[in-house]
Amino acid sequence: MDSLYVLTLCSSFLCFFSEISIAADTLTASQSISGNQTLISEGGCFELGFFSPGNSKNRYLGIWYNRIPGRTVVWVANRENPLTNSSGTLKIDNKDSIVLVNQTESVIWSSNSSKAVENPVVQLLESGNLVLREGKNGNSESYLWQSFDYPSDTLLPGMKLGWDLKMGLNRRLTSWKNFDDPSPGSLTYGIENKGYPEEVIRKGMNKSYRSGPWNGLRFSGATELKPNPVFRFRFISNEDEVYYTYEPDNKSIITRLVLNETTDNGLRQRFTWSESSNGWRIFLSVPKDRCDKYKYCGAYGTCDEDETPICRCLKGFKPRFLGAWSSVDWSDGCTHKVSLDCKKGDGFSRFKGLKPPDTTEAWANNSMSLRECERECLKNCSCMAYTNSDISERGSGCAMWFGDLIDIRQISGAGQDLYIRMAASELGKSSLSFYSISYLIPKKLDLSLIRLAD
């Protein structure tokens, strides 16, 4: 635990509020805040008010850590519509919505709440969540609106990343454009629910990173999420919700997960507060290496940072375009050495220690056995691979992939078995376990060139 530099910043007692703060943490229908006035959560963890980021003169309504030096902003209301001066006012309007208005009373931002209540109040919670609720009812199930449903670039403990399927609500992070501009940048991070759910970071429309599907213990390609005594991770997938959330086991750990396109140290970073340096430390980041980059080795290629070349074809496959591989371009991936023929006895070979492929064209059933999974996959000529959907205990459930298998990598000691469709003539050959896989390397490949390129 010492390595996390734990600092207890959020004490259980009420802090002393400055004269510019509204009393306590709540705003009623008869109150408003403007200028330098703020709300502070009950235990003093978070503060809500107006700020100007970096060198910008624009003004935004945001939430930041109250007791941490500097201003680390975790949520911005009007990120797409800044105030151009200090005239902004936050209040509850006559439609029971939270509104931010400028000096002419024009609405700059609104929560657009759809329900009306007798006594609406706005409250900044100790979790960093800004909520609109009925004054006499603090039950989270009755919130009219909450900022946790509309995140900016930061995922705080207890926040849900993913889908409320009943409401059609997709909670995802969007990066700031830069340090001076919190408007939405080019990066998004969320749970993609087509096929078999997994975490995905996109730059614009293009995938940059994916976590692999949840396997009962963690996202299968995110070994840093394995069970540990520091953080607890949960993934929920049912007919109502599909989401990921986390909590530190020690409530005194101050941590946040940020989507950041203004750094070379990764796109998604988890920070913890350091007492010794009086600043934030990167606990982990992704992508953590080249093999985390989406589709780095193409279809049926496997990526291994400890090997040269870094990309190789799985056993039974060959480079789709040999010339490209000789030029250290692996993006076109690999293809079967022997073409499949569904009517002539295709079967499956087991590969060990892999990150499962992209799940866009995948399907899962948690009630099926692995043997049932094999039979169903074998009957469908488009099914290219299968495995257990849950690897906890002895393994259970079924996940099947259709079409090319993309974005596979080696995960030494923590990867999964994957059963890949092979032609009948390729079955029963030497073991296809991870450690004994032989790879095809072009004869004319210049290894010195590869090392330079890596």
pLDDT at 226: 66
pLDDT at 227: 64
User: Is pLDDT at 228 greater than 90 in this prediction?
Assistant: no
User: Is pLDDT at 7 greater than 60 in this prediction?
Assistant: no
Structural domains in the chain, sorted by start: 1-150 (2.90.10.10), 151-288 (no CATH), 298-453 (no CATH)
In Å, what is the CA distance from 245 to each residue of 33, 161, 209, 234, 323? Answer: 32, 6, 19, 5, 45
Instruction: List, for residues 288-333, the tens digit of each pLDDT value.
Output: 899 999 999 999 999 999 888 999 999 999 999 998 888 888 999 9
Tokens of 161: 């990343």
pLDDT at 22: 58
pLDDT at 328: 87
Instruction: List, for residues 120-167, the tens digit of each pLDDT value.
Output: 999 999 999 999 999 888 788 789 999 999 999 999 999 999 999 999
User: Is pLDDT at 113 greater than 90 in this prediction?
Assistant: no
User: Is pLDDT at 213 greater than 70 in this prediction?
Assistant: yes
pLDDT at 324: 87
First to last CA, the chain: 35
Confidence of residue 242 (pLDDT cuts 50, 70, 90): very high
Segment 170-196 shows an average pLDDT of 96
Confidence of residue 429 (pLDDT cuts 50, 70, 90): low
pLDDT at 434: 33
Q: What's the mean per-residue pLDDT of the chain?
A: 87
Segment 70-96 shows an average pLDDT of 95
Greater confidence, 449 or 314?
314
Distance CA 263, CA 271 (A): 14
Closest CA to 406 of 354, 340, 356: 356
Segment 21-37 shows an average pLDDT of 87
Segment 193-214 shows an average pLDDT of 94
User: Is pLDDT at 450 greater than 60 in this prediction?
Assistant: no
Confidence of residue 6 (pLDDT cuts 50, 70, 90): very low
User: Is pLDDT at 428 greater than 80 in this prediction?
Assistant: no
